[in-house]
Amino acid sequence: MKKEVFRGVATALITPFCDRRVDYEAFGNIIDAQIEAGVDALVVCGTTGEASTLTDEEQIDTIAFAVKRAAGRVPVIAGAGSNDTPHAIALCKGSCEVGADALLLVTPYYNKTSQRGLIHHYSEIADSVTKPLILYNVPSRTGLNIAPETYAALADHPNIAGIKEASGNISAIADSISLVDGRLTFYSGNDDQITPMLALGAEGVVSVLSNILPAETKKICTLFWEGKTKESAELQIRLLPLVRALFSDVNPIPVKAAMAMLGVCREELRMPLYPMEDGKREKLRAFMEKAGLKTVR
């Protein structure tokens, strides 16, 4: 099996903004707090980080800042995917040049391609860099699902190390894990499926929830690996209402509202994302407070 990029919890970080610019002061504080809480890796400029609204320069600068701030304490995984293969390669190379430890690559969207095209897309990207790649399967956003057989075809590439699986299809994920036979590391891409994914052999989660509850998210994994499967499942289930609230609107709208409620950053999004309705916000606040978080009004 290839070396894991991480084992445990990688937080899919928000990108805080202030007056339409990246708020690096808030971002640095978020990075420090996450590492101090014990997360195992940081994902920068992914979906939760609103990468699709960042310019290429902003994206590389944000990744560079995270690498410098993390200072080797945990791996920094850079979102660098695109539906244009040469553009993805350029983002990957730029991310590597500023020190990213690994790269997260969403499937092509809109002009989606075939499974054969996916193999060539990911293989060309993997051939262009020396850092490990984590492929990201999220068909609800991209309209394209990575088939188990496609994972198997890509599994022998030395630079393709892992999978963030957010399809939600547990049966297909089980088939994928079986077919790759230890050649790839799987991570849950859904906060409501951490324990089930661990039970299938996943090595952790790329989490939105851990933006606000990093220690508790990691505890779900730790309990499972300590053989306390029931306790892991109980914590997973106890946090489900909060997880659902964090996805009651398009991600990262709710989690950014949650971070603002915690006084961490402004509730500033880039269009077309728009702040959530007051009713949903107050329900989110109630679940946060029930989970023990102190919010500001």
Q: Which residues are catalytically annotated?
A: 136, 164
Please give the structure tokens belonging to residue 98: 């500023």
Decide: 262 and 291 in contact? Cβ < 8 Å.
no
DSSP for 27-73, please give it: HHHHHHHHHHTT-SEEEESSTTTTGGGS-HHHHHHHHHHHHHHHTTS
- Asked if 264 and 256 touch (Cβ cutoff 8 Å), the reply is no
Contacts of residue 234, Cβ cutoff 8 Å, sequence gap at least 6? none
